[in-house]
A and B are shown apart, each in its own frame.
Chain A
Amino acid sequence: MILEAAISLGGLGLLFSLCLGLASKRFYVEVDPRVGRVIEVLPGANCGACGCPGCSKYAEHVVMEPEVPANLCIPGGGEVAKEVGHITGKEVEETGKKRAFILCSGSKDRVAKSFNYQGIEDCRAALLLFSGNKSCPYGCLGFGTCVNACPFEAIEINELGLPVIDKERCTGCGRCKDVCPKGIIEIYPKDIKVYIACSNKDKGKVVKDICAVGCIGCSICAKRCESGAIEIKDNLPKISYDKCTQCKDCVGRCPQGSMVAVS
């Protein structure tokens, strides 16, 4: 019985594999060998930061289509871009490494809860109920939707209920930025020294009532910045990093402490 089973199924398997082998010979499709080499160079995280469904799709696109640039792989950064450019024979513009920044410092102890939420532990779900259970309508809800979205395990929620980004692991792919329902994650160059850790667009009085570290839009930073890199828009300072000299002067001058220096 065992022998019969083994022989019959094994025979079937052999027959089918023979057919498949012949078929794959007969219907062989030429694939550009460069595609395989590009796939080997890419990190293989399938994060989708390049805009393609996965690494292999990007490899196909970058080899086949001349207008697809070689530097779209954000997790791979400059080195991968250089290699891909080398394989495909494309010019590569230097792109600096980037990473994600959480533009909110409203931890549990700094912003009050507006109600007790007992539902699905996901920011997107919590948002459906009165824009979430934080009294700041712009602030981080801290349920960790970004944590689950991160393909590199670079985000975790700290004990104060705020996501913390691991600078080493974060590749700047932007998955968390896309998934955050509050839109408070931004991708900035890795080497910046200051950023504004608040996303509240309300006027100063409103912000001060709900958050201890919220930006009140007082524009001291904009007035005092010597390189003129900061302008106020929607009650929030906007730093243009190509002008910023990284002097960190604005950090000390911010009365609310919402301008944060990167350690």
Chain B
Amino acid sequence: MGEIFLIFLSAVLVNNFVLARFLGICPFLGVSKKVETAVGMGMAVVFVMTLASSATWLIQRFILEPFHIHVLQTIAFILVIASLVQLVETVLRKVVPTLYEALGIYLPLITTNCAILGLAILNIQKEYNLIKSTIFGFSASIGFMLALILMAGIREQLEFAPVPKPLKGIPVSLITAGLMSLAFMGFSGLVKM
């Protein structure tokens, strides 16, 4: 139990996927203009990441390892992730069309989101079992969502801030992201993992 909690804490705060590992930067900057869409995107990522981490673990354990075809790891994982994203897209379009509209291009872009592939490969490298992999995937996506929502909150405020003209828009967002990353470095040493 203790270890699972440590995995959670480590993935959310200490080794946050966006702010410490610098994975998944594209949606982090792309969908963080409004808190509402950030929450939606976060949910989609939580769903895809959690499912992907267990699915990729199963594929690694029961297909790639018995047949000794580790070379195909990347292709097999991408296949799983792409199918999952497609599934999420189809379901979202029917169930929550407004969220589907708001996410726009970033939803299919989860397919190539390096955070998810990175997660799947990290799971294997760390030699987690199925439960730990799923927990790790879930916590990593919670960390992603946390970073995304924090960023969106800050950027909503920035809209009204008197930002110097050359820094308006993307530059100040990048500076914000950098400062957030620095702040999250404060957590390093909290958990040794």
Which A residues contact B (CB, under 8 angstroms)? 1, 4-5, 8-9, 12-13, 16-17, 19-20, 23-24, 27-29
| Stretch of B37-45, B75-83, B114-122, B177-185 at the chain-chain interface | B75-83
Determine if B67 is an interface residue (Cβ-Cβ < 8 Å): yes
Q: How far is the CA of A75 from the CA of B45 in the complex (A)?
A: 38
A contact residues around B72 at 8 Å (CB): 5, 9
A-B contact pairs, 10 of them (CB 8 A): A5-B67, A8-B63, A8-B67, A9-B75, A9-B79, A12-B59, A17-B83, A23-B87, A23-B91, A28-B94
Q: How far is the CA of A38 from the CA of B76 in the complex (A)?
A: 38
User: Does more than half of chain B's interface fall in helix, strand or loop, or is it mixed?
Assistant: helix
Q: CB-nearest residue of chain B relative to A11? A: B63
User: Does more than half of chain A's interface fall in helix, strand or loop, or is it mixed?
Assistant: helix
Q: Known: A5-B72, A23-B90. Contact between A12 and B63, CB under 8 A? A: yes
Q: CB-nearest residue of chain B relative to A15? A: B83
Residue pair B86, A9 in contact (C-beta under 8 Å): no
Residue pair A16, B68 in contact (C-beta under 8 Å): no
B119 to chain A minimum Cβ distance, whole angstroms, is: 19
Residue pair B80, A16 in contact (C-beta under 8 Å): yes
Q: CB-nearest residue of chain B relative to A28? A: B94
Q: How far is the CA of A4 from the CA of B69 in the complex (A)?
A: 8
Residue pair B94, A27 in contact (C-beta under 8 Å): yes
| Given A5-B69, A9-B79, A12-B79, 20 other A-B residues pairs in contact with their CB atoms under 8 A | A1-B67, A1-B69, A4-B67, A4-B69, A5-B67, A8-B63, A12-B76, A12-B80, A16-B79, A16-B83, A17-B83, A19-B83, A20-B90, A23-B87, A23-B90, A27-B91, A27-B93, A29-B93, A29-B94, A29-B97
B98 to chain A minimum Cβ distance, whole angstroms, is: 13
Determine if B95 is an interface residue (Cβ-Cβ < 8 Å): yes
Residue pair B67, A20 in contact (C-beta under 8 Å): no
Residue pair A20, B87 in contact (C-beta under 8 Å): yes
Residue pair B79, A13 in contact (C-beta under 8 Å): yes
A contact residues around B69 at 8 Å (CB): 1, 4-5, 8
Residue pair A24, B79 in contact (C-beta under 8 Å): no
B contact residues around A19 at 8 Å (CB): 83, 87
A119 to chain B minimum Cβ distance, whole angstroms, is: 15
Cross-interface CB contact of A20 among B68, B83, B95, cutoff 8 Å? B83
